[in-house]
């Protein structure tokens, strides 16, 4: 390809890409589901593999010319088996385009419509693809011990299946395994799911396995967020305990966009059919190549050091924020993400997240256990350490980040009563916010991203 081909052919798109690179370079992404991929991963994703259609599975394609695609997929599966230390009777699917697709493929493979699945309540940390639906009155939902769903079927899984959702303990915000067991025995689901997007603690997979066995249910562990930490051995693994393990590949695993499904071999054959023809046609071979390269990187010794540092950084950041009076849900974290109830600060999730972004600290608003506010402006914020750790930041930088967050909150507290449009205007005019943004930019220059 000629140099500057995109810039010459389509300068508008080229300019947007350059602006996004500048944004990523000059701000700190604290969103726990974001990461930054190596040049090798990005090269594989942008390769000639994107031109090939490969509908089908290894040695069973519907199109000719897939001999090298078969080799690529075999290599990716082999690396996944090694990295996640799969038992001999387990196998792998790497074709699902995203985590939600992977989860839905599993449901299609092992459930019949109207079967009961049991998963974690979304405001307590669960995920949309685990059967989310809701009623507009969040206050009524918050009072319910068990959530049986609402009229607004947000995700297709809530339309296809009967969904029962367990909540965390109302005082500790931790899993109450005895209560989960009680719910399972009451509703007798065909599938029990753990995992989500905003639960800061490790999960006892053996206890969940025992609960599933007690009601003769299958057990699926969704480790989308923790995959890299589990692969590195710094968090507990559900592999060999759950019946199925699903994950995305772009978060802590740092392997490009896509998904991986691990399961007992007899289930994988069903899940393969859930992926194709159940949900999609041909897989994205270039994305599989990116996953393959990323898995190869994760098999290197320095990846374990990286995963350990993610958790160390999260612990230090959480500790510093706690000292500054931030209300950490569950009192801290076991992994890469932190959930903060902003109620005691008098400024809630939407306003806080926008102000942090203006100051160069990119995080997201989030619901929390016992949430009574609208999902459009929830009580909490969520942040994490995967990408800042990829940049090479360690404990001293986490202390800086916590201090910046504290300064931002103090600046915006007097603005809490403003309408959001007026609030944004005040942020844009704030010299104090600009000062922090410039300080963040200065730190980013010391830890540049390798584009």
Q: Taking the model in full, what pTM does it have?
A: 0.96
Helix (H, G, I), strand (E, B) or coil at 324: coil
Higher pLDDT, 374 or 180: 180
Relative to beta strand 191-194, strand 218-222 is parallel
The number of beta carbons lying within 10 Å of the beta carbon of residue 342 is 24
Mean pLDDT, rounded, for 391-419:
98
First to last CA, the chain: 18
Residue 2's pLDDT band (boundaries 50, 70, 90)?
Answer: low
Phi/psi of residue 422, nearest 5 degrees? -70, -35
Specify the DSSP element, H or E, that contains 241.
none
Q: What digits encode the pLDDT tens for the residues 147-188?
A: 999 889 999 999 999 999 999 999 999 999 999 999 999 999
Question: What is the DSSP pairing of strand 337-341 with strand 380-384?
Answer: antiparallel
Beta strands in 121-190 (DSSP E): 162-166
Upper half-sphere CA count for residue 116 (Cβ side, 13 Å): 17
User: Which residues 6+ apart lie within 8 Å of 35 measured at CB?
Assistant: 250, 251, 252, 254, 386, 387, 390
How does pLDDT run across 7-63, given as a tens digit for each residue?
Answer: 999 999 999 999 999 999 999 999 999 999 999 999 999 999 999 999 999 999 999
Helices 420-429 and 349-358, packing angle to 10 deg = 20
**pLDDT tier, 134 (very low <50, low <70, confident <90, very high otherwise):** confident
Within 13 Å of residue 198, how many CA atoms lie on the same side as its CB? 28
Identify the CA nearest to 133 among candidates 119, 112, 143: 119
**For residue 392, pLDDT beyond 80:** yes
Up-side HSE of residue 273: CA atoms within 13 Å toward CB? 8
User: Predicted confidence band at 93 (pLDDT cuts at 50, 70, 90)?
Assistant: very high
Span 299-310, pLDDT tens digits: 999 999 999 999
- The structure tokens listed for 222 are 């969704």
Q: What is the pLDDT of residues 224-238, one digit of tens each?
A: 999 999 999 999 999
SS3 350: helix
What is the predicted pLDDT for the residue at 135?
82
Confidence band for 382, pLDDT divided at 50, 70 and 90: very high
Q: Which residue carries 């319910």 as its tokens?
A: 144
The Cα 146–Cα 121 span in angstroms is: 9
Which backbone phi and psi does 176 adopt, to 5 degrees?
A: -110, 95
Query: 366 forms bridges with which residues in the sheet?
Result: 380
| Domain covering 304-446, topology | 3.90.1150
CATH number of 48-298: 3.40.640.10
Query: Where do the domains of the chain lie?
Result: 48-298, 304-446
Torsion sign, CA atoms 174, 177, 179, 185: positive
Active site residues: 53, 55, 222, 248, 251, 257
Rg (CA), the chain: 22
| Cα–Cα distance measured from residue 430 to residue 54, given in angstroms and rounded to the nearest whole number | 53
Helix (H, G, I), strand (E, B) or coil at 373: coil
Does residue 1 have a pLDDT over 80? no
């Amino acid at each position: 390809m000629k140099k500057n081909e995109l810039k010459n052919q389509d300068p508008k798109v080229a300019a947007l890409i350059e602006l996004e690179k500048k944004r990523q370079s000059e701000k700190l992404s604290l969103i726990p589901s974001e990461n930054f991929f190596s040049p090798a991963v990005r090269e594989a994703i942008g390769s000639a593999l994107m031109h090939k259609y490969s509908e089908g599975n290894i040695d069973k394609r519907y199109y000719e010319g897939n001999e090298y695609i078969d080799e690529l997929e075999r290599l990716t599966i082999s690396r996944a088996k090694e990295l996640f230390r799969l038992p001999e009777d387990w196998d792998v699917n790497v074709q699902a385009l995203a985590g939600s697709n992977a989860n839905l493929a599993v449901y299609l493979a092992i459930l019949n419509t109207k079967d009961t699945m049991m998963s974690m309540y979304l405001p307590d940390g669960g995920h949309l693809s685990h059967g989310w639906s809701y009623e507009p009155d969040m206050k009524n939902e918050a009072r319910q011990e068990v959530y049986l769903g609402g009229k607004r079927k947000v995700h297709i899984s809530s339309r296809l299946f009967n969904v029962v959702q367990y909540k965390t303990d109302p005082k500790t915000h931790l899993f109450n395994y005895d209560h989960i067991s009680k719910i399972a025995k009451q509703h007798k689901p065909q599938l029990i799911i753990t995992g989500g997007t905003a639960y800061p603690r490790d999960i006892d997979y053996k206890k969940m396995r025992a609960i599933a066995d007690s009601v003769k249910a299958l057990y699926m562990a969704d480790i989308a967020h923790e995959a890299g930490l589990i692969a590195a051995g710094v968090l507990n693994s559900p592999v060999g305990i759950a019946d199925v393990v699903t994950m995305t590949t772009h978060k802590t695993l740092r392997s490009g966009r896509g998904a991986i499904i691990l399961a007992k071999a007899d289930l994988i054959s069903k899940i393969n059919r859930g992926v194709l023809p159940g949900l999609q046609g041909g897989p994205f071979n270039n994305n599989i190549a990116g996953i393959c390269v990323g898995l190869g990187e994760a098999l290197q010794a320095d990846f374990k050091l990286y995963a350990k540092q993610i958790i160390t950084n999260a612990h230090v950041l959480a500790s510093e924020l706690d000292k500054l009076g931030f209300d950490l849900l569950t009192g801290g974290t076991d992994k890469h993400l932190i959930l903060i109830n902003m109620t005691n600060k008098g400024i809630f999730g939407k306003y806080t997240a926008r102000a942090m972004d203006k100051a160069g600290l990119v995080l997201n608003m989030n619901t929390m256990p016992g949430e009574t506010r609208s999902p459009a402006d929830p009580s909490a914020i969520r942040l994490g350490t995967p990408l800042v750790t990829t940049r090479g930041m360690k404990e001293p930088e986490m202390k800086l980040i916590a201090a910046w967050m504290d300064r931002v909150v103090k600046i915006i507290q007097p603005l809490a009563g403003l309408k959001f449009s007026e609030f944004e205007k005040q942020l844009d005019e704030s010299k104090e916010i600009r000062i922090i943004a410039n300080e963040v930019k200065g730190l980013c220059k010391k830890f540049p991203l390798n584009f």
